[in-house]
Amino acid sequence: MAVTTGQTTVGVTAVQIDGNDVNPVTLVVHNLDSTKDLFIGGSNVTTLNGYVINKGEELSIDLPASASIYMVSSGNDHNVSWMRISHY
29 closest CA partner among 86, 79, 76, 66: 79
Domains by residue range for the chain, with CATH: 2-86 (2.60.120.770)
Task: For residue 21, name the pLDDT band (cuts at 50, 70, 90).
Answer: confident
Q: In sequence order, what are the residues at sequence separation of 6 or more whose Cβ sits closer than 8 angstroms to the Cβ of residue 36?
A: 55, 73, 74, 75, 78
Predicted local distance difference test score (pLDDT) of residue 7: 95
Predicted local distance difference test score (pLDDT) of residue 9: 94
d(CA 52, CA 29): 11
d(CA 29, CA 7): 10
> Which tens digits make up the pLDDT trace of 38-81?
999 999 999 999 999 999 999 999 999 999 999 999 999 999 99
Predicted local distance difference test score (pLDDT) of residue 5: 95
